[in-house]
């Protein structure tokens, strides 16, 4: 199989790299010899990860504590990536807030849209414009969710935002497929990350319809998908089966009702 370094070059950017899916992407990319720029809000965790990656994999690592809801975050990325041949971007940073729609403060909704929608759009536009100008190959992997396939009650804003990411990535895959830039949207189902087990808004882990997928397996599948330039890819066999049933055998109305019953239990913690 073609390796990432052979396909995309020597440098990658990973957002949301301090924990969970983003951290695992950083580890697996480093294991393949890529130099990495780590971005996330928690600088202390980025420093620790950076030191570990340098020591274990003998690669170059740059990092910056950064909030992607900041209107000027692209300028900061440009400074960090200046004169580097960035061949791959893992746009993983995202956030969720669950609960009854009218009870969640608007400021939280706005922050979620900035992170899950505006940030993905800005990163994708900045990177593809840069690679086209440089006349070089590249890759962008966006991270969505199986919540994107239908409206999810008590996670309405989240599912809507993840639907944007899914549609953006699939459309850009077609636009850039003949320009040497791979665009893939990774669509995780429930995944064993801190975001799943430490969510203060909901008891998610005890109300899942299936066992969460190991994060290392999800990331491995995501890397394979971007190398094959798949428009989108659902991580995990059982997640693919469940998504297939939801999309082909059940109406969108019934799919939303199915998820609504689960999320209701998650957010109404006694």
Query: What residues are labeled active site?
Result: 158
Would you call 178 exposed, middle or buried from its count of C-beta atoms within 10 A (0-12, 13-18, 19+)?
Answer: exposed
User: Concatenated DSSP letters for 138-164?
Assistant: EEEEEE--GGGGS--TTSHHHHHHHHH
Q: What is the DSSP letter of 116?
A: I
CB atoms inside a 10 Å sphere around CB 31: 13
Helix (H, G, I), strand (E, B) or coil at 133: helix
CB atoms inside a 10 Å sphere around CB 130: 15
Dihedral over Cα of 150, 156, 161, 162: its sign = negative
Residue 65 has which token pair?
């504590």
Pairing of strands 232-234, 181-187: parallel
């Amino acid at each position: 199989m073609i390796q990432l370094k052979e396909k995309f070059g020597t440098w990658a950017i990973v957002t949301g790299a301090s924990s969970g899916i983003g951290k695992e992407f950083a580890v697996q990319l480093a294991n393949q010899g890529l130099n990495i720029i780590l971005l996330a809000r928690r600088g202390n965790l980025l420093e620790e990860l950076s030191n570990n990656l340098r020591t274990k994999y003998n690669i170059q690592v740059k990092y910056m504590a950064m909030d992607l809801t900041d209107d000027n975050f692209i300028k900061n990325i440009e400074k960090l990536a200046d004169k580097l041949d960035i061949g791959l971007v893992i746009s993983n940073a995202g956030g969720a807030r669950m609960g009854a729609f009218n009870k969640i403060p608007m400021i939280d909704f706005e922050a979620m849209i900035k992170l899950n929608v505006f940030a993905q759009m800005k990163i994708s536009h900045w990177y593809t414009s840069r690679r086209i100008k440089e006349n070089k190959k590249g890759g962008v992997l966006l991270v969505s969710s199986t919540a994107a396939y239908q409206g999810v009650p008590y996670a309405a804003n989240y599912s809507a935002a993840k639907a944007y990411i899914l549609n953006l990535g699939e459309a850009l895959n077609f636009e850039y497929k003949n320009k040497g830039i791979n665009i893939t949207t990774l669509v995780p189902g429930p995944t064993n990350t801190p975001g799943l087990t430490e969510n203060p808004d909901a008891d998610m882990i005890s109300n899942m319809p299936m066992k969460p997928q190991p994060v290392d397996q999800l990331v491995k599948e995501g890397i394979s998908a971007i190398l094959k330039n798949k428009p989108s890819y659902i991580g995990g066999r059982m997640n693919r089966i469940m998504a297939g049933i939801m999309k082909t055998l059940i109406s969108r109305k019934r799919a939303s009702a199915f998820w609504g019953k689960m999320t209701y239990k998650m957010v109404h913690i006694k």
